[in-house]
Chains A and B, each alone.
Chain A
C-alpha cells in the first residue's frame, strides 16, 4: 500500500511556462518531505525539501508547497527549461525510513 502517491505519471509543458507536480500522502506521521529528480541511466538527485512545520520553501526556480490538512504537497518550477525534462519523485519520511512516490515524467517542449 503506497503511502506516497503521485497520480500524474506524466506532464508536458512548454518552455518558459510553469510546471506543477502534485503529491499526496496518507501517513500523518510523515514529518519531512523531499523532491528528487532523475535523468535516464542516472541515480536520483536531491532537488528541494520542506519540513512539516513549514508550508512553503523556495530555491531559485523551484518552490515546494505543503498543505498538511489535505496531506498534499506540490512542486512548482518557474520558468520551465529543457533541462528540467526528467522524472520527479516525491518522498516523505517518518523516522529513518523514506517512502517514495511512483514518479512523474516531465517533458519540457521547446
Chain B
C-alpha cells in the first residue's frame, strides 16, 4: 500500500537550475496539492488540483508550475531555482477536497538551492 510517493527525497540545486519534483498516488484520489514547509511558517499551499486537467494556484505559487495529466501524478516544476525556494516540499492527496476529508501526505522532498 504505497499511498503518496514523492521523489526525490533530497535534492541540491544551483541557482537558476530547473527540476521537477515527482508525486504519485495509488488511491484514485481526485484532489492533489503541493505544500512547502518553512521554519516558523507551517505548511503553505503552492498549487492544487481538483482532478485531471484542472489546476489552480494556492497561497505561494510564484516560481512553480504544475500540471495534472493523469489522476495518479501531480509533478511540481521549478523553472529557475532561487535560494528562497530552499524548503521541504510535501505532496498530498485526498478523495475529495481535503477541507473535510483526510488528506494523505508524502514523506517530503528536502530541497536546497545554493
Contacts and interface: CB of A to CB of B under 8 A. Distances in A.
B42 A102 contact: yes
B102 A97 contact: no
Interface residues of B, number: 28
B103 interface: yes
Interface in B16-53: 31, 33, 35, 40-45, 48, 50
Contacts of A4: 42
Given A96-B50, A97-B58, A44 B99 contact: no
Interface in A86-110: 89, 91, 93-103
Q: Number of contact residues on A: which range applies?
A: 20 to 34
Contacts, number: 66
A85 to B, nearest CB: 19
Given A45-B105, A97-B45, A102 B56 contact: no
Given A2-B42, A43-B90, A93 B99 contact: yes
Contacts of B50: 96
Given A32-B100, A49-B100, A100-B44, 19 more contacts: A2-B42, A4-B42, A6-B42, A41-B107, A42-B107, A42-B108, A43-B4, A43-B105, A43-B106, A43-B108, A44-B105, A93-B97, A93-B98, A93-B99, A97-B48, A98-B45, A98-B99, A100-B35, A103-B42
